[in-house]
Amino acid sequence: MPYPIRALTYTPNESLLIAGSDDARIYVYDHVEGGVLRAVMAGHTGWITGLVAHVDGARIVSCSADETVKVWDLASKQSLHTFDGGHEKSVMGVDFGEVVGGKRRIVSVCDGGNLVISSSD
């Protein structure tokens, strides 16, 4: 990989290793099959600065220097939703939170110190 990796996460069953890179792409490796590259997901326009896998193993959330947070479906390798409000600088961290009103909360923090709580289906 020609660009530095800034973020890593495993799916809960540890079958997939997800890596976020400075080339604004997310790389999905099959950990069980010895690190075979299974997919490359693109959608951010800045460094990937954080990743977290959902407990169901079907989705991940990424954050980026492009000031956005994205929810991804691992089966389709597509972005399901982009949160692009509330961050005034690079988003530096992201995590899943509790379920409220049937929706899972996503919490993120930017380099400027803003804490943003969003909801995802």
| Core vs surface per residue 50-72: b (16+ CB within 10 A) or e | bbbbbeeeebbbbbbbbbbbbbb
State residue 86's pLDDT score. 81
- CA dist 34 and 67 (Å) reads 33
Segments making up each domain of the chain, as ranges: 5-120
- Mean pLDDT (the chain) is 91
Handedness of CA 22, 85, 118, 58 (dihedral sign): negative
**pTM for the whole thing?**
0.91
Q: Of 38, 39, 74, 40, which Cα lies nearest the Cα of 54?
A: 74
Task: Of 119, 116, 73, give the one whose Cα is nearest residue 94.
Answer: 116
The pLDDT tens digits of the residues spanning 29-62 come to 998 888 899 999 999 999 999 999 999 999 999 9
8 A C-beta contact, residue 94 and residue 76: no
Average pLDDT score over residue span 64-92? 93
Mean pLDDT of 97-115: 84
Q: Which fold has domain 5-120?
A: Methylamine Dehydrogenase; Chain H (2.130.10)
CA pair distance 6, 19, nearest whole angstrom: 8
